[in-house]
Amino acid sequence: MKEYVSLSIKSEKYIRIQMSVLHILVMLSGLILEHNGKVTNNRIFDVNAQKQEVTVIGKGKMIGFEISLIITYWNMPIQGFTENKSQLTHYYGEGNGIISSIHDSKETATVTEYGIGRLIGQKSVWRGSAFYMTSSCGKLSVLNNTVGLFETDVDNVLLDVNQKVWQWK
């Protein structure tokens, strides 16, 4: 009986997780931004808190248009523990930036990002949310008040940055 109850509870958790993933996938629409960039600046904000600032300059495509962007992020380590009580280090970060159409310098938008990152070998993997605003009346106007979910890979040795953002409906 205990095995059946245990199996039933595990199955129910699995089904709930699958439903949550399905719900998230339904809420996400297509890819709205994909860019490749480079970390161009790195500065220590607070040595005791290990808070640092980085600036990324990149180019890519946003909703089908070629764009350039510059974003400055700050991040700092946050401590946590895994299920087996071993220590785990993640990073919390925020960023603010400007996105410009490559073909029309009047087409601009701003972005604010919040994310959690973790180290995997020489890479950092970040996941979080991005909020876009623009007063543009042209191509980038569809970004106004758009929320996105991102995944960013950073090569901490080569300083390459690759980011993808999906719109949250």
28-82 pLDDT, tens digit per residue, is 678 999 999 999 999 998 998 899 999 999 999 998 899 999 999 999 998 766 6
- Token pair recorded at residue 50: 């290990």
The per-residue pLDDT for range 90-145, each reduced to its tens digit, is 899 999 999 999 998 889 999 999 999 998 889 999 999 999 999 988 888 988 99
Q: Look up the CATH number of domain 30-168.
A: 2.40.350
Whole-angstrom distance, CA of residue 25 vs CA of residue 27: 5
Hey, what are 135's tokens?
């007063």
Are 91 and 76 contacting, i.e. CB atoms less than 8 angstroms apart?
yes
User: Is the pTM for the entire model greater than 0.75?
Assistant: yes
